[in-house]
Amino acid sequence: QALARSMALLAFGLACVAHLAPHRSARPSVAVGHGSRCSAAATAAGAPDGGGGFRALLPSLPAAAAESLSARGIDTPTPIQAAALARIDAGESLLLHAETGSGKSLAFLLPALRHISPRSKLLLIAPTRELAVQLAAEASPLLPAGETVAILSVGSAPAPREVMAASVLACTSEAMAEQLAASGAVASSLDQALCDLRLVVLDEIDCLLPVEAFRGPRAERQRRAANRDAAPPPAEALLRRAIELCGSRELQVVAASATLSRASRNKLGRVLRADPLGRWYGNPPAVVRPAQLSSSDLSAVPRAVPPPASIRHSYVRLPLRTARFAHVGTVAHERAAA
């Protein structure tokens, strides 16, 4: 009986390989990562071809950034970049919704370059130290000579002069809140940095502005009680402080996530509506998705994840006896592992 189960599992595996092999050679190229190295894939998804590239969307792209992209072989915007670059460059506040590895980081970093300086900063807020360091490493080679990036995370606190001289400040919300709560030169320099902001980015907003889910007949009452009694997450407190201290009418807020939930969007909207200058009153950040999803209605999906356009669904029909043996073998293996 054990031999029969093993043979059934082997037959199932061979059937899957035989069925999927024809699709492998026909799989299209995927535009992933920071930018696309395959203009055909990006063009098919709605992005401009390599002849226009980033310059077509950002005519004011600094030469240093263009050279950095070219040196890394990034010559064509990905779909989310094609959808967002020009709008962020024009001063819009946006919510970027695209899968992991789609190039969201460059979608908000590149258009910020011509607006930022040591007196007009970019604040990158991340939920983890690793992501903050990654964003800083992504931004650093794009900056013109002489401009710097300061990192503020657990175990890394820049000197006040470094904060004031930096054009980009990458931080975790917890570390920033801890430094702001302390008195001293660092806290004063950070407050001054918040006054000098031009763009605030919340990367992985679902992690930065979490919302507890309630279900059942008393869900609405429980949600209101939680919103009233619970302390705001550090990222929310930091964002409120930033929009209160920064008096620039040009301040932008950009959020990005692969799982952009409706609850987090609503929470961000409530924070922005409390802006004392009313910069987002009646004009909340719009949701931007890749071109192939622009016609899809994902507003009713709580945590919609846009699938890559290259995903193909395949089905393998198995004889009933083979399927039964495969299921029994899987259950037996799981029980043995437990």
pLDDT of residue 338: 57
How many residues appear in the chain? 338
Q: What pTM was estimated for this model as a whole?
A: 0.72
Give the tens place of pLDDT for each residue, 5-28.
555 555 555 555 444 444 333 333
Q: Which domain holds residue 150?
A: 63-212+232-288
Between CA 169 and CA 237 the distance in angstroms is 17
Q: How many CB atoms lie within 10 A of CB 327?
A: 12
Six token digits for residue 270: 């409530």
In a domain, 329, yes or no: no
Between CA 325 and CA 2 the distance in angstroms is 10
- For residues 200-215, give the mean pLDDT: 88
> Cα dist. 225→73, 137, 214, 229, 233 in Å?
51, 41, 11, 6, 16
In a domain, 218, yes or no: no
In a domain, 302, yes or no: no
- What stretch of H or E contains 202? strand 197-203
Give the tens place of pLDDT for each residue, 281-313.
988 999 999 865 555 555 555 555 555 556 666
Between CA 35 and CA 275 the distance in angstroms is 34
Going by the DSSP 8-state scheme, the letter that residue 77 receives in this structure is -
Report angle CA 45, 308, 67 to the nearest 5 degrees: 60
Give the tens place of pLDDT for each residue, 121-158.
999 999 999 999 999 999 999 998 889 999 998 877 88
In a domain, 71, yes or no: yes
- Between 240 and 260, the more confident residue is 240
- Between 33 and 116, the more confident residue is 116
Phi, psi of 297 (to 5 degrees): -100, 100
In a domain, 46, yes or no: no
- For residues 305-323, give the mean pLDDT: 64
pLDDT of residue 38: 38
pLDDT of residue 162: 94
**190: domain CATH number?**
3.40.50.300
Give the tens place of pLDDT for each residue, 243-273.
999 999 999 999 999 988 888 898 999 999 9
In a domain, 238, yes or no: yes
- For residues 225-246, give the mean pLDDT: 88
> Cα dist. 141→8, 67, 109, 173, 221 in Å?
54, 9, 11, 24, 49
- Report how many domains make up the chain: 1
Mean of per-residue pLDDT scores for the chain = 79
